[in-house]
Amino acid sequence: MKIEVLFPELSNIFGDFSNIKLLKESLKDAEFVYTNNFDRPYFLDNKVDLVYIGSMPESKQELAIKRLMPYKEEIRAAIENDVVMLATGNSLEIFISHIMDGENRIDALGLYDLYAVRDYVNRHNSHFVGDFEDIKIVGYKSQFTMCYGENKHPFINVVGGCGLNLNSKQEGIRYRNFFATYLLGPFLVLNPYFTKYLLRTMGCDNAIAFEKQAIDAYNHRLDELIKKGRFLMGEHG
């Protein structure tokens, strides 16, 4: 099993890296390849079982787009060839059409026909519950952007919280084995059932590390969120 972590030096915020820690604990024999922003992505020339990229500050997100732009068509081809990829937090925006920052348009890879609008004054914070197939997904959003456009490939249907934007009932992008979500931080840790699904997609039936404790915490959170039914938060809750 081989897992590539794209640009770990750029995307090391919000606890997203705990997703890799969980995979490391769960897949003791797996090899992890860390590709930094000066290097060509490993998965373009080699077989990997998962490519992961996490949240990043906005300037580093723009750098990541710049670094990946020359490989845009190869990345598109890899997704068409069913390479398993997971993007969490604002790394989703790397793969869409563009990002508007005031009057400034930042072209992204353009693999999906969506665009994001940054608003540094109103940071959005919310809890989330959604449906992916028969799995309930839980998580958090904390972002400066909202995403717009016709989402032809939604990942999760919103049960509570915010979709790609405040009026959207769809969250994230799922196309073939490409999964991208604005949900950030310990996404896999918080969602043990989805993690098992992802591992199966990667061709692995392993139990996940600390599975019992993770499921206990997941059930408690899901129960709490559904009971409270309050999802939007201010900066202090």
Partner 1 sequence: MLRFWIALWASKLCLFIFKLTGHERDDRPGMLALRMCKDFFKYVATPKLTIAVTGTNGKSTVSSIINNVLVREGMTTSYNDWGANHRPGQARCLLNAVNIFNRPNKDAAILETDEMTSPMNVPYIKPDYMVVTNLERDSIRRNAHPEYIFSCIEKALKNSPNTKVILNANDPISCFLGENNERAYFGVADTKAEHFESGINDFSVCPKCYSIPKYNFKHYGHFGDFYCPECGLKTPECDYFATDIDFENRTITVREGENNYKYPIVSDTLFNAFNVLSIIALFRQMGISPEKLSEHLSNSIIPVSRESCTEVNGIKLYTFVAKGQNVSAASAVFEYMAKEPSKKELVLLLDEVYSNTTATETVTWIYESDFEFLNSENITKIVIAGDRILDYKLRLMFAGIPEEKVVCVKDKFEAPDHLDFSDVERIYVLHDVDSITTGRKVRDAIGERIKRECE
Question: Nearer Cβ to partner 1, position 58 or 74?
Answer: 58
Residue that has been written with the tokens 């079982």 in this structure: 49
CB 94 within 8 A of CB 107: no
Contact status: 174 vs partner 1 (CB under 8 A): no
Interacting residue with partner 1 among 47, 59, 104, 167 (CB under 8 A): 59
> At its nearest, how many Å lie between partner 1 and the CB of residue 147?
17
CB of 72 to partner 1, least distance (A): 20
Note whether 40 binds partner 1 by CB under 8 A.
Answer: no
Tell me if 44 contacts partner 1 by CB under 8 A. no
Alpha helices in 91-210 (DSSP H): 187-190, 192-201
d(CA 97, CA 112): 6
Q: Return the residue of 116, 140, 145, 175 that touches partner 1, per CB under 8 A.
A: 140
**Residue pointed to by tokens 């059932």:** 193
Asked if 33 touches partner 1 (CB under 8 A), the answer is no
Q: Which of residues 189-208 bind partner 1 (CB under 8 A)?
A: 189-190
Query: What is the torsion angle, in degrees rounded to the nearest 10, for the CA atoms of residue 68, residue 70, residue 74 and residue 75?
Result: 20
- Under the binding rule (CB under 8 A), the answer on residue 118 touching partner 1 is no
Task: Select from 1, 2, 18, 32 the one that contacts partner 1 (CB under 8 A).
Answer: 18
If one asks whether residue 62 binds partner 1 (CB under 8 A), the answer comes out as no
- Name residue, tokens 């353009």: 110
C-alpha count within 13 angstroms, C-beta hemisphere, residue 60: 18
Q: At which residue do the structure tokens 């990829």 appear?
A: 85
* Tokens coding 197: 């699904």
CA dist list (Å): 173 to 3, 103, 140, 153? 21, 26, 16, 5
The correct pick among 58, 62, 74, 119 for binding partner 1 (CB under 8 A) is: 58
Query: What residues contact 58, with CB distance under 8 A and at least 6 apart?
Result: 90, 101, 118, 144
Least Cβ distance, residue 142 to partner 1 (angstroms): 5
Rounded CA separation 36/5 (Å): 9
Do 214 and 208 form a contact (C-beta atoms < 8 A)?
A: yes
Cβ nearer to partner 1, comparing 154 with 172 = 172
Among 32, 76, 110, 125, binds partner 1 (CB under 8 A): 125
Q: Is 60 a binder of partner 1 (CB under 8 A)?
A: yes
Chain positions contacting partner 1, by CB under 8 A: 9-10, 12-15, 17-18, 21-22, 25, 36-38, 57-60, 63, 120, 123, 125, 127, 140, 142, 144, 184-186, 189-190, 209-210, 213-214, 216-217, 220-221, 224-225, 228, 230, 233-237
